[in-house]
Amino acid sequence: MEALIPVINKLQDVFNTVGADIIQLPQIAVVGTQSSGKSSVLESLVGRDLLPRGTGIVTRRPLILQLVHVDPGDARKNDDVGREGEEWGKFLHTKNQIFADFDEIRQEIETETERISGNNKGISEEPIHLKIFSPHVVNLTLVDLPGITKVPVGDQPKDIEVQIKDLILKHISNPNCIILAVTAANTDMATSEALKVAREVDPDGRRTLAVVTKLDLMDAGTDAMDVLMGRVIPVKLGLIGVVNRSQLDINNKKPVADAIRDEYAFLQKKYPSLANRNGTKYLARTLNRLLMHHIRDCLPELKTRINVLAAQYQSLLSSYGEPVEDQSATLLQLITKFATEYCNTIEGTAKYIETAELCGGARICYIFHETFGRTLESVDPLGGLSTIDILTAIRNATGPRPSLFVPEISFELLVKKQVKRLEEPSLRCVELVHEEMQRIIQHCSNYSTQELQRFPKLHEAIVEVVTSLLRKRLPVTNEMVHNLVAIELAYINTKHPDFADACGVLNNNIEEQRRNRMRELPAAVPRDKAAGGAQGDQEGTGNWRGMLKKGEEAPGSGPGSPLKGAVNLLDVPVPVARKLSSREQRDCEVIERLIKSYFLIVRKNIQDSVPKAVMHFLVNHVKDSLQSELVGQLYKSGLLNDLLTESEDMAQRRKEAADMLQALQKASQVIAEIRETHLW
């Protein structure tokens, strides 16, 4: 099982080559407040001074520290290493440069930190990767994070506390991360910021290990026995106490090995019963053991994650396509595929079906039968016509002579005015379908033919050709729809079967009303006069025309009513609201019923013929001629190089996807080797 940690280090190296952190590998994150002893703990684990020192915030970028155990006999042979050549370090950002001097390692950490984070005590999320090879370390992967702080110092931003906490949470939220919560023994454990942050992401404490530093600096007469026994703050993975080097020891360059010996002596003297379960060496062994078990538990899920990502990147790489070899064949293939997908989207057989909203042919169907249909149904047959308008039209159609019957021309005049109102929604229907066919272009570009994203100029050219084709068909379709309404206006067919039936029903209603009036006549009225009046009514309405009442005279026209005073003949009487006579009311009702009956017939015709015209002149024509139009406009030898020029970032994205796929495949092989060697 010891070999599991080098495997994780190998996986880390694989993903470092592509600069990706999409895989959350098992690691140990060190969390603590400033001056809690985090750096001393790490240096004790390494056995060398390698971390920057100073006041305030020193760790301003995450440091991913990989400790790799090497046998003394396998130590690197190099003349520049000197006497201590068995230990060395390598940074990811310096490629293959070897650092045998740990002072140079510390200096490189400071330089690289300032290069990204600046020198104003700000922090950065971009990590520094350092690998230490030594026969004196156990295999571990540690992440040193900036110390938790409360108050900005110097040029630090005012929200430095929030920035640091967010950075810490980003790392320890990884479920594959063990949290090493560092707290000084001379502070109250109940107020430990490290444990508080750890509990936010690990409330059960299943992956938190507490380290109590500075055991030698506790107040006289006190000890950490209760803390180390877990009686104060219980932690499931345990609590381990260590003794750090003092600042004086650091200034005097006291070796870490000497500090560890002094630590062991202190624990034997102060905590003899707990000495074998505390100290730096026990901490290193514990971390190694915990990390190995954690890796073993994480590997199955890690393998699944790697396989899923490999499949995703394989699909992504396929979508980017291979470099173009035969330009003519590639261009024709892309044109054909776009035209096919465009037509399939209209027919509803496209590979990528939109689920968020109606698209393509389904939306066109909705426009025809829902939008357009409901709009026509909402048009009132008598909308915009008042009774006075109808009466005025009747009077204007009679000329200078009083009429006995309702003139037929008034019906035609009024019904044409109402039918004309159907033209606007019909033309709007054409516009909506045209807009949807324009939207289909973008739909095909985004979902159906992702290869077009490789060639932006070809994509622009295809959009321009299809848009131009749609633009050319729009006036033709509009003209046809306009003609459909004009045809209805050209001839008012009062012999239409449906209209004739309506007239018959209307005549029956009028006859029934005449009989009712006769039954209501007083007994003193002679029956022949009543019959004569009825006969007159029948003659006046037999052909849907109204009649004047027998003997009815216009006001002011009877004897004994001479006009008095001067009259201005240029004054035209303006119709005003007034109570209509029974004849006028009857004439208006007849016209209204006939207009409504005929309007409904025309509306039904328009509702049926407009979608057919739009399908024939616009939709089907574009479908049938799209590919030939694209080939004719674009398939030219002089345009090949220009149209098939890839976007500037496509080659880079293809390379990144290929590198990531290669890294994932290597990682999959590494895990497969683990299974073969029965390490898990």
| Angstrom distances, CA of residue 50 to CA of 22, 103, 151, 298 | 29, 6, 27, 31
**361: how many CB neighbours lie within 10 A of its CB?**
19
SS3 content of the chain, % helix, strand, coil (to 5): 60, 10, 35
Spatial neighbors of 307 by CB under 8 A, at least 6 apart, are 668
What is the identity of the amino acid at 557? S
**pLDDT of 348-362, one tens digit each?**
887 766 667 788 888
> How far, in Å, CA of 101 to CA of 548, rounded?
122
| Angstrom distances, CA of residue 7 to CA of 1, 108, 298, 343 | 10, 27, 13, 52
Asked whether 256 and 49 are in contact (CB, 8 A), the reply is yes
Spatial neighbors of 10 by CB under 8 A, at least 6 apart, are 670
The 8-class DSSP code of residue 403 comes to -
**318: how many CB neighbours lie within 10 A of its CB?**
12
- Half-sphere exposure of residue 306: CA atoms within 13 angstroms, side-chain side: 23
Sequence length of the chain is 680
Asked whether 178 and 156 are in contact (CB, 8 A), the reply is no
Q: State the DSSP H helix or E strand holding residue 69, giving kind and residue range, or none if neither.
A: strand 63-69
Residue 259 token pair: 């500090």
Residue 447 has what pLDDT?
Answer: 62
| Angstrom distances, CA of residue 151 to CA of 20, 65, 123, 154, 162 | 33, 28, 15, 10, 11
Sign of the dihedral defined by the CA atoms of residues 404, 406, 408, 409, in that order: positive
Give per-10-residue mean pLDDT for the chain (680 aa). Answer: 63 61 78 85 84 73 87 56 68 87 88 79 83 86 86 76 90 89 87 90 89 86 82 85 84 85 90 90 88 80 84 82 78 88 86 73 91 90 82 76 70 88 94 92 71 80 92 95 93 81 58 57 48 41 38 44 46 59 79 88 93 95 92 86 76 81 81 61
Spatial neighbors of 425 by CB under 8 A, at least 6 apart, are 372, 375, 376, 379
Q: Which residue has the tokens 């293939």?
A: 333
Residue 606 has what pLDDT?
Answer: 94
**3: how many CB neighbours lie within 10 A of its CB?**
12
Residue 427 has what pLDDT?
Answer: 95
Residue 544 has what pLDDT?
Answer: 37
Residue 372 has what pLDDT?
Answer: 93
**pLDDT of 230-249, one tens digit each?**
888 888 888 999 998 887 88
Q: Which residue has the tokens 């920057």?
A: 52
Extract long-range pairs of 633-641: CB within 8 Å, 24+ residues apart: 633/461, 633/465, 634/331, 634/335, 634/458, 634/461, 634/462, 634/465, 635/328, 635/331, 635/332, 635/335, 637/328, 639/461, 640/327, 640/328, 640/331, 641/327
What is the identity of the amino acid at 167? L
Residue 399 has what pLDDT?
Answer: 73
> How far, in Å, CA of 613 to CA of 445, rounded?
28
Asked whether 426 and 485 are in contact (CB, 8 A), the reply is yes
| Angstrom distances, CA of residue 148 to CA of 195, 208, 216, 393, 680 | 12, 17, 23, 89, 37
C-alpha angle 634-636-638 in degrees, rounded to nearest 5: 115
> How far, in Å, CA of 615 to CA of 307, rounded?
48
Residue 547 has what pLDDT?
Answer: 33
Q: State the DSSP H helix or E strand holding residue 304, giving kind and residue range, or none if neither.
A: helix 280-320
Q: What is the largest CA-CA distance in the chain?
A: 146
What is the identity of the amino acid at 675? R
| Angstrom distances, CA of residue 501 to CA of 203, 431, 513, 597, 598 | 82, 36, 19, 10, 11
Residue 22 has what pLDDT?
Answer: 66
> How far, in Å, CA of 125 to CA of 49, rounded?
24
What is the identity of the amino acid at 267? L
Residue 619 has what pLDDT?
Answer: 94
Asked whether 388 and 572 are in contact (CB, 8 A), the reply is no
Residue 546 has what pLDDT?
Answer: 38
Asked whether 455 and 648 are in contact (CB, 8 A), the reply is no
Asked whether 484 and 606 are in contact (CB, 8 A), the reply is yes
Identify any residues that bridge with 67 across adjacent strands, giving them in sequence order: 132, 140
Spatial neighbors of 582 by CB under 8 A, at least 6 apart, are 549
Q: How far is CA 669 from the centre of its chain?
A: 35
| Angstrom distances, CA of residue 222 to CA of 198, 210, 232 | 27, 20, 14
